[in-house]
Amino acid sequence: MQLDLLISKFQQKDENAFETLYNMYSTSMHGVIYNIVRDHNIAEEVMQDVFIKAWHKSESYDATKGRFFTWLLNISRNAAIDKTRSKGFKNNSKNLDAEYFVDILPSQDDLNNSTDAIGVGKFISLLKQKCIEVLELLYFKGYTQKEAAETLEIPIGTVKTRNRNCINELREIVLN
Amino acid sequence: MDIKTYIKSGILELYVAGALSDKENREIYDAMLKYPELLEEVLNIEAAVVKLTAHAAPSNSKHIFTSVKKALSFTDNDTKVTSLLPPTRKTIWFNYTGWAAAVLLAVGLLWTLNKNEALNTKVSTITTDKEFLEIQVKDINSDLADTKKLLNVIRDQNLINITLNGQDVYPEGYAKVYWDKSSETVYLDLAGLPKPPEGKVYQIWSLTLNPLSPTSLGTIDDFNDNANKIFELQNNNASQAFGITLEPAGGSESPTMEQLYTLGVVSDS
C-alpha cells in the first residue's frame, strides 16, 4: 500500500493502518528510545507511551512539515529524553553522555528482526568515529545542525557534508 | 534548481533527521512534488536511517503493540474491521443483509419444495383412494345387479325349486337348485355347504333315476371367492334329481358316492 494512503488512513483512526505503520517503524523507535534510556523496561514503557501518543495526536502530523518517520522519531526522542529527566530515572547521566549507539550494537544477542542483523550491526559499528558521532547526534539524539556543530566543535556546513558522506557509507552497508 | 547539487548538499539527510526549520521542510516538500528524484533520494536516506536505528533496538518490539492496543482499548483482531471507517461498516452491513436474505430465500424455497412434494403425495394418495372407492362402487353395483337378477330368477314362476338334503358325509349340509328349463340354466345356492378342503372341489351332477345315470354339470372352482355362494351352470338334461359330491380338483368322470354331500329329487310338475 502507498505510504501516503496508509498514513491518511491512520489519521482517520484506522487500526489496521496503525498496526502496519507500527510494524514498519517500531523497531527503529525502540532502538532510538533504548539508546537514550539504556534500560529495557523503561524503553518498553516509553515505546507504549510514544505509540499511544501518536494515535491520539495522529491528526497533528502534517506531511508538509516533514516525513512521517521523522515525526515519529521526534515524538520518540522527546519522550525518551523527558524520561531521563524525570524524577524516577536512576541511570548515571555521565554514562549516557559518553556512550554512542554503536556501544549497544554488539551486545544485542536477542535481536531477531533479521538474520543478518548482527553482521550488519558489526559493519555499522565499524563506521568511522566521526560518522558515529554525527549520526548519534542528528538521528538518535535529535540535535539541530547548529547544536551538532557546537557539540562537535566543527563548522555548521561541515556537519551537513559530513553527515551526507556518513549516510552514504551507511547506505552502502544497510541497503546493499 | 540544480537537483544534483541540492542532493549533494546534504540537506535531505538533515530533513530526514528532523534537523531543519519548518520553512526548509516546506521547501523540500514542495520540491519533492516537483522532482521525483528528490523523493527517491529521501526514501533511500530514510530507509538507511530506519535500518540504522532498528539495529539499536534491544529486542523485538512486536509484543509492545499488544499493550498499546490494550491501552487504546482496541477491539480484537477479528472484529477490528467492523470498527473502521463508516463506509466499510456500511458495506459489511449490506453484505450481511444480502447473505441473510439469500439464506432466507433458499430456506423458503426448500420449504416450498418440501410442502409441494407433500401435497403431491397427498393428491396421489387421494387419487388412489378415489379409484379404489370407484372400484368398490362398481363392484357393489355389479353385486346389486347380480342380486336383482337372482331375485328375478327366484321369483320366476317357471323356475323349478329343488332342495338337496344333507347326506351321510355331512348330514347338516344342504343346497338349493333353481332350474330354469326354458333357459336351460340351473342356479345353485351352496351356502349350506362347508368350504371344500384344499385340492378338492364340489362337482354337480344331473341324475336320471331309472336307470340311475349321472351326468356332470361341472365343478364349482370358485367356491371360496364367491361371497353369496350362488353359482350358475348350464343344464340341458332331463334331470330327475341333482347331487353334489366332493371330488379331486378338476372333477371326476363319475361321482364318488362316498363323498355325496347333498341329494335332491325333482318333484313332478
Q: What is the pLDDT of residues A112-153, one digit of tens each?
A: 444 455 567 777 877 888 999 999 999 999 999 999 999 999
The fold for domain B160-265 equals: Immunoglobulin-like (2.60.40)
The reply to whether residue A138 touches residue B46, judged by beta carbons under 8 angstroms, is no
Q: What is the ipTM of this complex?
A: 0.90
List B166's β-bridge partners, or say none. Answer: B262
Domain ranges of chain B: 3-57, 83-155, 160-265
Which domains, from first to last, does chain A contain?
Answer: 1-91 (1.10.1740.10), 101-176 (1.10.10)
Integer Cα distance of B26 and B7 in angstroms: 16
Encode pLDDT of A61-108 as tens digits: 999 999 999 999 999 999 999 998 887 776 555 455 557 787 777 444
DSSP 8-class letter at A137:
I
Which DSSP helix (H) or strand (E) runs through B206?
Answer: strand B200-208
pLDDT of residue B87: 52
Integer Cα distance of B161 and B266 in angstroms: 8
- Chain B's closest residue to A173, CA to CA, is B48
Distance from CA of A87 to the nearest CA of B (A): 24
Q: Is B55 on the interface with A (CB under 8 A)?
A: yes
Q: Choosing among A11, A30, A172, which should be mutated to test the B contact, i.e. which has the most B CBs within 10 A? A: A30
pLDDT of residue A111: 47
Q: What angle do CA B146, B250, B170 make, to 5 degrees?
A: 75
The reply to whether residue B68 touches residue A124, judged by beta carbons under 8 angstroms, is no
- A96 with A84: CB under 8 angstroms? yes
pLDDT along chain B (269 residues), means of 10: 90 94 94 93 94 87 87 63 50 79 91 90 86 87 84 79 90 91 90 91 92 91 87 91 93 91 84
- A9 with A61: CB under 8 angstroms? no
Residues of A in contact with B83 (CB under 8 A): 15
Three cell numbers at A142?
535529535
The reply to whether residue B19 touches residue A148, judged by beta carbons under 8 angstroms, is yes
The residue type found at B208 is T
Distance from CA of B106 to the nearest CA of A (A): 35
- Tell me the average pLDDT of chain A: 85
DSSP letters, A140-151, are: IS---HHHHHHH
* Backbone phi and psi for residue B110, each to the nearest 5 degrees, phi listed first: -60, -45
Give helix A15-37 / helix A3-11 axis angle, nearest 10°: 90
Integer Cα distance of B46 and A12 in angstroms: 24
Residues of A in contact with B48 (CB under 8 A): 167, 170-171, 174-175
